Structure 1
Amino acid sequence: MEKGRTVIVGAGGFGRELITWAGDAHLAGRLPPLAGLIDDAPGALDGFDYPVGIIGSIADFAPQPDDRLLMAIGTPRVKAAVAGLLGDRGGRFATMIHPTAVIAGSARIGEGTILCPLSLVSADAAVGRLVSVNALSSIGHDVRVGDRSTLSAHVDLTGGVSLAEDVMVGTGAKLLPRVKVGAGATIGAGSVVYRTVGPGRSVYAAPARTLRAAQPDSAAR
């Protein structure tokens, strides 16, 4: 069991999810006990009933030497700014692997990355620093995920996909084999991506094409 305390950075939806999942990781001996959350909106948890609360603002937080921070901010550019701010103050971001996550022995996971319940990282995949992989998302064999990228729930990165840094992938998106996505791009929820996405581009929707026209039934001729 690690010494110190765990502090969640951000008290939005993902931060609230991490309250439970960080507790699971603590019970599995993978994180120190959860002390609370930091957020610049002091009322972010008003109306919710959780065993921990807001213990300070991001702007004023002074990390202690034994603190382990969990990044609960999804938007990559905001994540980068907050990580830089807290890192300059000596903050250390913990790697959280939920007990139900499945990771191949040949996969590599970067510092500060969060793997949520029932996520999968397959053979020879490489996941960068401060990446968020939400519940039930799958990272296939030989996939590369750049620093600070965010995979929402139910995302499927199939074999050989490559995401550069700071990519945001929406819920339920599927990237077909060997697709490359440039830095700072956004993949909308439910998208099916089958070709390269350039840096900073945003793509949405699931293109459906007719593979074969239906043949008229012989009885209708």
Structure 2
Amino acid sequence: MKNLIIIGARGFGREVYDLAKQCSGYNTEYIIKGFLDDKSDALDGFENYPEIISSVEEYKIEENDVFVCALGSIKWKIYYTELILSNGAKFMNLIHPSTILNTNAVVGVGLIVFMNSNISNDCIIGDFVTIQGYVGLGHDTRIDKWSHLSAYSFTGGFVVLEEKVLLNTRATILPHVTVRKGATVGASSLVIKNVKEGTTVFGIPAKILNF
């Protein structure tokens, strides 16, 4: 039996805790050991959650430990995942049973997928990708490492999301569009052409935002 440890005990961590309880391996392949968070009082006032064991920096990995990273910020997800990987940590996937993986869909490790998402035919999803609820991925979509897709976002066929891409709630990417590394797509935006690396786009159609 594996001992699942959730990195992050804030709001998203609490959501991932329930996701872990809803996945098919719960209590048969793994139990939930607790959280890692440097804010030791993050769960004060909240009931029915396991304990915060320690910070990531102080945790000593034990036999049968496996991890998921429940941090909504891509920057901090990378930081804490790489930190504990350097100490020998192993990560597992949490994929809600209502999510559909269609023919030839390929997924990496450290994947988090919430309820009622559709990963269509021949999609490729890299390591440490987060997919929230009700996301639709068209056929042959490629999502690279560290990316985060918020609820109700959608990609058409042959879309490419490079590393560290953030799609906010209800973002829509039309077929054959590429969103380059580190780009952000704003909530409810419609992307009709390629998005440049490191930019933020918003609107219908989506245009670059300058701050």
Fold match by TM threshold 0.5: yes
Unaligned runs of 5+ in 1: 209-221
Match of 1:207 among 192, 205, 208: 205
Q: Does 1:103 align with 2:139?
A: no
Partner of 1:216: none
Identity %: 34
What displacement does 1:83 show?
Answer: 1.1
What displacement does 1:67 show?
Answer: 1.0
What displacement does 1:45 show?
Answer: 1.3
Partner of 2:47: 49
Partner of 2:175: 177
- Cα separation, partners in 2 of 1:65 and 1:27, compared to 1, 3 Å: closer
Q: Determine the C-alpha separation between the residues in 1 that align with 2:25 and 2:163.
A: 32
Q: Determine the C-alpha separation between the residues in 1 that align with 2:121 and 2:162.
A: 19
TM normalised by structure 1 equals 0.88
Q: Determine the C-alpha separation between the residues in 2 that align with 1:13 and 1:174.
A: 25
Q: Does 1:24 align with 2:22?
A: yes
- Cα separation, partners in 2 of 1:31 and 1:179, compared to 1, 3 Å: farther
Partner of 2:154: 156
Q: Does 1:188 align with 2:186?
A: yes
Q: Determine the C-alpha separation between the residues in 1 that align with 2:196 and 2:121.
A: 26
- Cα separation, partners in 2 of 1:113 and 1:30, compared to 1, 3 Å: farther
Which of the pair is proportionally richer in strand? 2
Alpha-carbon RMSD across the aligned residues, in angstroms, is 1.6
- Structure 2 contact 24–97 (Cα < 8 Å) conserved: no
Match of 2:125 among 117, 124, 127: 127
TM normalised by structure 2 equals 0.92
Unaligned runs of 5+ in 2: 207-211
Partner of 2:209: none
Structure 2 residue matching 1:23: 3-state secondary structure: helix
Structure 2 residue matching 1:7: 3-state secondary structure: strand
